Amino acid sequence: MSGRQRPRVRRRTAVGVVVGIAAVALAVTSVAFGFTIFRYSSTSPVGPGATFRTDGHTLRDHNRVCREGNSGQARARYYAPGGTTIISDTGIVWTNCPSALAALENDGDYISWCRHEGTVNWVIACQTSRP
C-alpha cells in the first residue's frame, strides 16, 4: 500500500463513522421525543374571543400560545379526551411571540385549546405537539 492510499482509507473510515453516528443520533432523537410541532390556529388576524382547539385528543408535551408581532393577552388550556373537563389552564397571560408565552408543559393525553383574550384584532399563534 502506498503512502497516498492510506489517507483515503482513513478519510473513508472517518466519514463512515461520522455518518453512522449521525444516523443513530437521529433515530434516538425521533424515538425519545416522538412529537412534531403542530400549529392549530389561523395565520390571519382574529378578533377578541377567537378560540381554537385541536380536532381531537392525543399525547401532548406542550401547548403554547402567543400574539404574533406585538404584545397581547392570550390563554392556553388542556382538556380531557371528552372535551369538557379542563385539565390545565394558564389563565390570561400577556404574550409576545416568541419570548412571552401562555404555556402548558404537561405530558398527557389531551385536547389543546387556545383563546385570544385581547381587545383588538391580531394574529394568535397556538402551537402544540402530537405524535
Residues 5 and 51 in one domain: no
Q: Are residues 19 and 81 in the same domain?
A: no
Model confidence, pTM: 0.73
For residues 53 and 11, state if they share a domain: no
Q: 28 and 84, same structural domain?
A: no
Domain co-membership, 50 together with 7: no
Residues 79 and 97 occupy one common structural domain: yes
Domain count, the chain: 2
Residues in the chain where the model's pLDDT stays below 50: 12-33
Could you give the CA distance from residue 113 to residue 61 in angstroms, rounded to a whole number? 14
Q: 55 with 110: CB under 8 angstroms? A: no
Which residue's C-alpha cell is 405530558?
107
Over the stretch 78-110, which tens digit does the pLDDT of each residue have?
999 999 999 999 999 999 999 999 999 999 999
Query: Domain range holding 122?
Result: 36-130
Indicate whether 23 and 40 sit together in one domain. Answer: no
Q: Do residues 48 and 89 share a domain?
A: yes
**Rg (alpha carbons) of the chain, rounded to whole number:** 22
Predicted local distance difference test score (pLDDT) of residue 112: 97
Q: Tell me, yes or no, whether 45 and 14 share the same domain.
A: no
Burial level of 38, CB count in 10 A (0-12/13-18/19+)?
middle
Residue 10 pLDDT: 55
pLDDT score of 6: 58
